[in-house]
């Protein structure tokens, strides 16, 4: 009995040592022996994980192309259905659904500084570090650029123009509109200082603009910043959607 027990202990110790020798290796990329590997590499296909060749889907990958003419859930307002080369249509049909409050303008300034100023410059004069190197970046306060409305600016942000690459995947629709607001400030040729001046002067200072400037301190309640409405004068409501389709959408809550 004692001999059998000793033999069993010796066999167990031998197996344990073999297991440790197998698990411990000098190769730094060798994971050794994995317990229940299905916990790490599941048998079902996962779209964001690729470990083996997928024999079911095309090209052997787990992810599949979305059906043609479909829009990802929650991304409807990312597309206004206006072609890239139809900026004139955008000028006539797109309307900024957000009021020109101090808070919206300041947010637009932050977004512009982070995303646009390296080319267009802090003052909107095309003198950013990248703009100086590649040249040809426009001055917002000169020529036809001075009269671009919100819809024009929004469309160019989404689709790009000339050497400017599309930024539609970088900034969502709400952010595009707020950047457009701040570009309207820079169109005055006074740089970032024009923001505070416009807020102090109030709506009368932008009487000739296509959009209204209102100071939050003197503005009546507009409810969710009228995010689900659009009109010729943002902040006063309306029934025409920003995408010109006649159906209103709420940015951030499509």
Number of residues assigned to the chain? 254
Please check whether residue 154 lies inside any domain of the structure. Answer: yes
Please check whether residue 129 lies inside any domain of the structure. Answer: yes
- What residues make up the domain containing 162? 78-226
Predicted TM-score (pTM) above 0.85: no
Please check whether residue 21 lies inside any domain of the structure. Answer: no
Please check whether residue 99 lies inside any domain of the structure. Answer: yes
- 129/141 Cα distance (integer angstroms): 19
Please check whether residue 160 lies inside any domain of the structure. Answer: yes
Q: Per residue in 30-60, pLDDT tens?
A: 777 777 877 777 778 888 888 888 888 888 8
Residue 217: CATH number of its domain: 1.10.760.10
Position 204 scores a pLDDT of 38
Please check whether residue 62 lies inside any domain of the structure. Answer: no
Angle, helices 193-201 vs 173-186, to 10°: value is: 90
Please check whether residue 135 lies inside any domain of the structure. Answer: yes
For residue 239, the SS3 value is coil
Domains identified in the chain, total number: 1
Please check whether residue 149 lies inside any domain of the structure. Answer: yes
Q: Which residues pair with 164 in a beta bridge?
A: 161
Phi, psi of 230 (to 5 degrees): -155, 145
Nearest to 242, CA basis, from 124, 147, 158: 158
Phi, psi of 99 (to 5 degrees): -75, 155
For the chain, what percent of residues have pLDDT higher than 90?
28
Better-scored residue on pLDDT, 128 or 210:
128
pLDDT at 211 over 50: no
Position 167 scores a pLDDT of 92
- Residue/partner pairs of 45-50 with CB below 8 Å, 24 or more apart: none
Position 20 scores a pLDDT of 56
């Amino acid at each position: 009995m004692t001999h059998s027990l000793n033999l069993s202990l010796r066999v167990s110790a031998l197996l344990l040592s073999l297991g440790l020798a197998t698990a411990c290796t000098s190769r730094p990329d060798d994971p050794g022996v994995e317990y229940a590997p299905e916990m790490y590499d599941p048998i079902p296909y996962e779209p964001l994980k690729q470990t083996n060749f997928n024999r079911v889907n095309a090209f052997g990958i787990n992810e599949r192309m979305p059906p043609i003419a479909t829009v990802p859930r929650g991304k409807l307002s990312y597309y206004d259905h206006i072609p890239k080369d139809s900026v004139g249509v955008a000028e006539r049909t797109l309307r900024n659904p957000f009021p020109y409050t101090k808070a919206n303008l300041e947010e637009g300034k932050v977004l512009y500084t982070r995303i646009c100023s390296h080319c267009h410059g802090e003052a909107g004069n095309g003198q950013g570090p990248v703009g100086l190197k590649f040249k040809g970046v426009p001055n917002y306060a000169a020529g036809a650029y001075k009269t671009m409305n919100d819809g024009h600016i929004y469309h160019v942000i989404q689709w790009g123009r000339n050497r400017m690459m599309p930024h539609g995947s970088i900034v969502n629709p709400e952010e595009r509109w707020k950047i457009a607001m701040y570009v309207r400030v820079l169109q005055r040729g006074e740089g970032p200082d024009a923001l505070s001046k416009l807020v102090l002067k109030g709506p009368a200072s932008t009487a000739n603009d296509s959009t209204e400037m209102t100071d939050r301190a003197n503005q009546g309640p507009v409810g969710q910043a009228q995010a689900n409405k659009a009109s010729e004068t943002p902040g006063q409501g309306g029934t025409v959607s920003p995408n010109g389709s006649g159906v209103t959408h709420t940015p951030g809550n499509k």
